[in-house]
């Protein structure tokens, strides 16, 4: 009996797969596979254009070992340089905007005619100074924000190029930020209130304000606190987040009011004419009209009547924070005029 051996199974022919073509636009700053490149004596799968160029320039004996390393260092230096350049450009742009906002430059039509900004005095000069301080403060804040955003992005990009996993880092930073946010709610509230306070120009250095917790002259304003000095010389540090209302006595203009009590038996028309003469003389005084008083003072008339006195009220509009000085001068002049006219002051 003859046994037939089974016919051999034909071996399948293996066709080599085609080598993947390189990307048309290589990732020229990516050296994620830098370690593999050094081990294999090449730039790795994603070495980038810089690594290829360095490997071509270096001697053949050095290329397998240092090409990827030098390419990585060059990429880090390039990213850092781009970050610093962008930061400087942002600072210059912010500086120009702040300078334009604080200087009050003339309009385009005025500049085309060769006209400069007119000299400011009185209330206009005070408003211009407050605008300058507010613009410089906001410019400083914007510069810090620009530096943090640009340099922070550059650092994260460098870490990514060095094959450092930034996802866990960002997650940790996010969790830490949430924890700090819960623990520093009051601090964040102070900063936000300070930002809106500066943007809205609620008060500035030198203003006399009533901040609720304290009343006094503003000596310093930051994004977190406002420092006041009261009439007794006591210094108050008030957190911006705790200020719910502000009474500003130094913004725009102030008003000096003086009540003049005379005897009930005094002749009302005579007293009125006497007070009008006093305020006219004060208005004609160049020492007050040119630098302190902004409008002609007025005699408002009888403010109160009692069984022993008739109270007249005199008012004068002044530049900010000078109302007390004008009120004292009015009292001196009114007292002298009443004495000359032999009109008694009610007790």
**pLDDT (tens digit, 0 to 9) for every residue of the chain, 347 residues total?**
444 445 555 555 444 444 444 443 344 444 444 444 433 444 554 455 666 666 666 665 555 556 667 777 888 888 899 999 999 999 999 888 888 877 755 444 344 444 444 454 555 666 676 677 777 777 887 888 889 889 988 888 888 877 778 787 778 777 777 777 777 778 888 888 888 887 787 888 788 899 888 899 888 888 888 999 998 889 999 999 888 888 888 777 888 999 999 998 888 999 999 999 999 999 998 888 877 888 889 999 898 998 889 999 999 998 887 888 899 999 999 999 999 998 888 87
Q: How many CA atoms lie within 13 A of 339 on its CB side?
A: 6
Measured between alpha carbons, how far is 332 from 127 in angstroms, rounded to an integer? 31
Measured between alpha carbons, how far is 285 from 12 in angstroms, rounded to an integer? 116
DSSP structural state of residue 307: S
pLDDT at res. 221: 83
Beta pairing partners, 309:
263
Q: Give the number of other CB atoms < 10 A from CB of residue 129.
A: 15
pLDDT at res. 219: 87
CATH code 3.30.70.100 region(s) in the chain? 254-340
Q: What angle in degrees, to the nearest 10, is found between the helix axes of 123-161 and 166-183?
A: 140
pTM of the model: 0.53
Q: Give the number of other CB atoms < 10 A from CB of residue 298.
A: 15
pLDDT at res. 40: 41
Q: Which long-range contacts (CB under 8 A, 24 or more apart) does 322-325 make?
A: 322/254, 322/292, 323/249, 323/254, 323/255, 323/256, 324/256, 325/292
pLDDT at res. 261: 93
Instruction: Map residue 298 onto helix, strand or coil.
Output: strand
Q: How far is CA 291 from the centre of its chain?
A: 32
Q: CB-based contacts of 5: which residues, under 8 Å, 6+ apart?
A: none
Strands 225-229 and 215-221, sheet pairing: antiparallel
Q: Which long-range contacts (CB under 8 A, 24 or more apart) does 280-286 make?
A: 281/333, 282/316, 282/326, 282/329, 282/330, 282/333
Q: How far is CA 45 from CA 164, 231, 265, in A?
A: 17, 74, 107
Cβ atoms 318, 300 nearer than 8 A: no
Cβ atoms 75, 161 nearer than 8 A: yes
Kindly report the CATH number that applies to the domain delimited by 191-248. Answer: 2.30.30.60
pLDDT at res. 33: 44
Cβ atoms 131, 103 nearer than 8 A: no
pLDDT at res. 188: 81
Q: Which residue has the tokens 């955003």?
A: 149
Cβ atoms 71, 50 nearer than 8 A: yes
Beta pairing partners, 238:
226
CATH code 2.30.30.60 region(s) in the chain? 191-248
Cβ atoms 345, 261 nearer than 8 A: yes
CATH architecture assignment, domain 254-340? 2-Layer Sandwich (3.30)
């Amino acid at each position: 009996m003859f046994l037939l051996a089974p016919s051999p199974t034909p071996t399948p022919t293996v066709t080599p797969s085609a080598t993947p073509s390189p990307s048309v636009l290589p990732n020229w700053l990516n050296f994620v596979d830098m370690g593999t490149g050094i081990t294999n004596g090449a730039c790795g799968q994603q070495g980038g254009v810089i690594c290829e160029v360095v490997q071509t320039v270096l001697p053949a004996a050095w290329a397998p070992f240092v090409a990827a390393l030098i390419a990585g260092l060059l990429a880090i230096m390039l990213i850092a340089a781009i970050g610093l350049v962008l930061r400087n450009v942002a600072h210059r742009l912010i500086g120009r905007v702040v300078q334009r906002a604080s200087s009050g430059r003339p309009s385009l039509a005025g500049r085309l005619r060769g006209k400069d900004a007119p000299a400011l005095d009185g209330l206009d000069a005070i408003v211009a100074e407050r605008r300058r301080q507010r613009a410089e403060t906001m410019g400083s804040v914007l510069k810090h924000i620009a530096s943090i955003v640009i340099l922070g992005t550059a650092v994260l990009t460098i870490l990514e190029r060095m094959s450092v996993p930034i996802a866990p880092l960002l997650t940790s930073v996010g969790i830490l930020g949430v924890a700090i946010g819960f623990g520093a709610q009051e601090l964040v509230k102070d900063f936000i209130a300070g930002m809106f306070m500066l943007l809205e120009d609620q008060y500035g250095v030198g203003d006399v304000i009533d901040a609720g917790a304290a009343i006094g002259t503003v000596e310093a304003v930051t994004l977190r606190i406002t420092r006041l000095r009261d009439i007794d010389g006591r210094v108050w540090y008030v957190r911006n987040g705790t200020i719910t209302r502000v009474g500003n006595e130094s913004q725009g203009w102030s008003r000096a009011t003086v009540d003049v009590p005379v005897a009930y038996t005094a002749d009302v028309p005579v007293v009125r004419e006497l007070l009008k003469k006093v305020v006219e003389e004060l208005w004609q005084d160049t020492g007050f009209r040119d630098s302190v008083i902004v409008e002609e003072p007025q005699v408002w008339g009888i403010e109160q009547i009692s069984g022993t006195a008739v109270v007249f009220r005199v008012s004068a509009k002044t530049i900010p924070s000078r109302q007390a000085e004008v009120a004292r001068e009015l009292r001196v002049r009114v007292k002298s005029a009443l004495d000359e006219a032999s009109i008694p002051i009610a007790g």
